[in-house]
């Protein structure tokens, strides 16, 4: 059995959960096995009937599980593994998915390969996985010696495919939790303030790096963004570490992962930790005065020049075109 751990977000399955189901079905087919999906949380029972193309849905529905309670969820997943003896357990490689599976792996003293992107099956058995290193700028092939095999799936690595297969059986799992399983529990959610277009929603993102030189210089990027439809300003780690921009503007491995139609990189050398944050951009336009800057190896369009001249000239031309 392949056990697929699914994530409930706002009374629905998360996008990453559908990708996990797709990967689980593929693994089940190649290893001649079946898929059981596990849904944990308040409202899980109602969602179970929406699933198709899996053999069984295991449900742990409990009033107390109204948010992600890490140790309680880990206890439920661990006991499901003990009870059902799956060969492979796969969960979303999201923040909660990785947190949950790390706790399960610790409890069961098993290895865990996080953020997998590919699976190698030979003679009906999962031999190796490929997983993301350095935020996806390198890939690592790993053999997992412990059993059952615990995995999380890198989001967006495998496109979700819906299945119109047969309706599964639904089985309610007993929920046996101790007080200790609730010692880490969210006690409050403070809603975030909405402010402008977010980096992850913008169609055009303008990023500034070391070449900006100051917080002041970012004003011209703001002005450029204001002249474009649906544009936002971001920054590299160098810029945020220098205090030129807040950390919430950071694009990269330890900041936002963006996917705009166009990313305009200004004075950015192209450090790999930055590039993994913008690699899903449809087009990358780099403005840099150093023709040897690594960013030119990872861009679609290059402007070799000083951003402090190019950006103001671009702003002036856009203003002229707009008649402002």
**Which residues inside 290-319 make contact with other proteins, applying CB under 8 A?**
293-306, 309-310, 313-314, 317-318
Binders of other proteins among residues 113 to 152 (CB under 8 A) are 113-115, 128, 130, 132-146
Regarding 171 and contact with other proteins (CB under 8 A), the answer is no
Choice between 60 and 204, CB closer to other proteins: 204
CA distances from 105 to 61, 124, 189 (A): 22, 24, 28
Integer-rounded Cα Rg, in Å, for the chain is: 23
How far, in Å, CA of 79 to CA of 5, rounded? 13
Count Cα neighbours of 229 within 13 Å in the Cβ-side half-sphere: 2
Choice between 12 and 304, CB closer to other proteins: 304
Q: What is the DSSP letter of 168?
A: P
**In the bound complex, what is the minimum distance in angstroms from residue 103's beta carbon to other proteins?**
6
For residue 59, the tally of other CB atoms under 10 A from its CB is 21
**In the bound complex, what is the minimum distance in angstroms from residue 56's beta carbon to other proteins?**
28
**In the bound complex, what is the minimum distance in angstroms from residue 2's beta carbon to other proteins?**
19
Q: What is the DSSP letter of 241?
A: H
How far, in Å, CA of 44 to CA of 59, rounded? 6
Regarding 88 and contact with other proteins (CB under 8 A), the answer is no
Among 14, 22, 236, 269, indicate the residue that binds other proteins (CB under 8 A).
Answer: 269
Stretch that binds other proteins, among 19-27, 77-85, 161-169, 265-273 (CB under 8 A): 265-273
Give me 156's structure tokens: 């967006």
Regarding 73 and contact with other proteins (CB under 8 A), the answer is no
**In the bound complex, what is the minimum distance in angstroms from residue 169's beta carbon to other proteins?**
33
Q: How many residues bind other proteins (CB under 8 A)?
A: 95
Stretch that binds other proteins, among 13-21, 83-91, 166-174, 277-285 (CB under 8 A): 277-285
How far, in Å, CA of 190 to CA of 270, rounded? 35
How far, in Å, CA of 267 to CA of 244, rounded? 14
**In the bound complex, what is the minimum distance in angstroms from residue 60's beta carbon to other proteins?**
21
Instruction: Select from 256, 243, 254 the least CA-distant residue to 233.
Output: 256
H/E stretch holding 264: strand 262-266
Regarding 65 and contact with other proteins (CB under 8 A), the answer is no
Binders of other proteins among residues 40 to 59 (CB under 8 A) are none
Exposure letters 79-118 (e unless 16+ CB within 10 A, then b): bbbeebebbbbbbbbbebbbbbbbbbbebbebebbbbbbe
Binders of other proteins among residues 95 to 114 (CB under 8 A) are 95, 98-99, 101-103, 105-107, 109-114
Regarding 82 and contact with other proteins (CB under 8 A), the answer is no
Stretch that binds other proteins, among 37-45, 79-87, 215-223, 278-286 (CB under 8 A): 278-286
Who contacts 313 (Cβ-Cβ below 8 Å, separation ≥6)?
A: none
Among 50, 122, 192, 323, indicate the residue that binds other proteins (CB under 8 A).
Answer: 192
Regarding 199 and contact with other proteins (CB under 8 A), the answer is no
Q: 151: helix, coil or strand?
A: strand
Regarding 34 and contact with other proteins (CB under 8 A), the answer is no
Among 63, 159, 174, 189, indicate the residue that binds other proteins (CB under 8 A).
Answer: 189
Who contacts 110 (Cβ-Cβ below 8 Å, separation ≥6)?
A: 104, 146, 147, 148, 150
Regarding 270 and contact with other proteins (CB under 8 A), the answer is yes
Choice between 52 and 140, CB closer to other proteins: 140
């Amino acid at each position: 059995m392949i056990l697929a751990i699914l994530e409930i977000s706002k009374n629905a399955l998360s996008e990453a959960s559908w990708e996990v189901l797709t990967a689980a079905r593929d693994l089940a087919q190649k290893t001649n096995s079946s898929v059981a999906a596990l849904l944990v949380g308040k409202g899980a029972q109602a969602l179970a009937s929406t699933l198709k193309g899996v053999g069984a849905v295991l449900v742990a529905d409990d009033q107390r599980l109204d948010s992600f309670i890490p140790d309680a969820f880990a206890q439920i997943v661990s006991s499901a593994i003990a009870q059902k003896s799956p060969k492979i357990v796969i969960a979303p490689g999201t923040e909660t998915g990785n947190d949950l599976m790390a706790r399960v792996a610790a409890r069961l003293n098993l290895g865990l390969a996080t953020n997998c992107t590919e699976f190698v099956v030979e003679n009906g058995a999962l031999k190796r996985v490929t997983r993301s290193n350095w935020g996806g700028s390198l890939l690592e092939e790993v053999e997992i010696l412990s059993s059952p095999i615990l995995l999380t799936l890198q989001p967006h690595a495998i496109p979700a495919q819906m299945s119109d297969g047969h309706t599964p059986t639904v089985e309610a799992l007993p929920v046996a939790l101790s007080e200790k399983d609730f010692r880490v529990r969210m006690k409050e959610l403070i809603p975030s303030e909405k402010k402008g277009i977010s980096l992850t929603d913008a169609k055009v993102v303008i990023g500034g790096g070391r070449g900006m030189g100051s917080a002041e210089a970012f004003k011209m990027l703001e002005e450029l963004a204001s002249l474009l439809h649906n544009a936002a300003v971001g920054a590299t780690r160098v810029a945020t570490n220098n205090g030129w921009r807040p950390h919430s503007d950071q694009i990269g491995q330890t900041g936002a992962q963006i996917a705009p139609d166009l990313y305009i990189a200004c004075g950015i050398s192209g450090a790999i930790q930055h590039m993994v944050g913008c690699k899903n951009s449809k087009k990358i336009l780099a403005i840099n005065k150093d023709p040897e800057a690594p960013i030119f190896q990872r861009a679609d369009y290059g402007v070799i020049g000083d951003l402090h001249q190019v950006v103001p000239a671009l702003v002036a031309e856009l203003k002229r075109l707009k008649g402002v």
